[in-house]
Amino acid sequence: MTETFGAEFLARWLAAVAGSVDREADRLTELDAAIGDADHGANLKRGFAAVAETLAKEPPGTPGAVLTTAGRQLISTVGGASGPLYGTLLRSAGKALGDEERVGRERLAEAFGAGVEAVARLGGAQVGDKTMLDALVPAAEALRESFAAARAAAEEGALATVPLRARKGRASYLGERSVGHQDPGATSSALLFAALADTAAGEGEEG
């Protein structure tokens, strides 16, 4: 029997993301200081804290509603590029899930795939441009296999940004000087999938 997940699972995941971003905020900001505006950690910390608070106060009833609520909150709370991008990821994934009360892992993978496509359209980027997509695209694809595979794919994708030259966003202005630095957006994207794998493991769902 395939395990399915309800709204409470997605809310727990986003609370775990908020905790992870809080712990890693300084590291994210250090990465962003090298090739960006040095605000990625602080912005995401504020945004996901607001998401966790909103979901705790008024828990939505479906997985899709959890994601769309979180997406709207990020867009309204976080400045810079990361708010609209992460907000679009979650909101588009939520819309893809519709009103289903429970979803399986493969359905989640489809929804995240839709979210990733929306992020690519919004940012005009693709894999290899040294952006969050370098972690998001392989993670969403690997989620069809397992939560653990998605985590590993996201982390590998983030590491793979180090030798790349940035072609989108603020980092692209640096040209060759962007080479040798890990992309902060790909790094924070990997945190999302690490938290998802941890949350699933806590449910007893390894696959």
Q: List the chain pLDDT tens, one digit each, 207 residues.
A: 578 999 999 999 999 999 999 999 999 999 999 988 899 999 999 999 999 999 999 999 999 999 999 999 999 999 778 999 999 999 999 999 999 999 999 999 999 999 999 999 999 999 999 999 999 999 999 999 999 999 999 999 999 999 898 887 777 666 687 798 999 999 999 999 999 999 999 876 544
Sole residue written with tokens 């929306």: 118
Q: Tell me how long the chain is.
A: 207
Q: What is the pTM of this model?
A: 0.95
**Per-residue tokens: 39:** 């605000």
Residue 125 in contact with residue 164, Cβ under 8 Å? no
**Per-residue tokens: 192:** 């999302």
Residue 174 in contact with residue 132, Cβ under 8 Å? no
Distance between CA atoms of 88 and 67, rounded to whole angstroms?
Answer: 10
Q: 10-13: long-range contacts at Cβ-Cβ below 8 A with a sequence spacing of 24 or more? A: 10/63, 10/66, 10/67, 11/55, 11/56, 11/59, 11/60, 11/66, 12/199, 12/202, 13/195, 13/196, 13/199
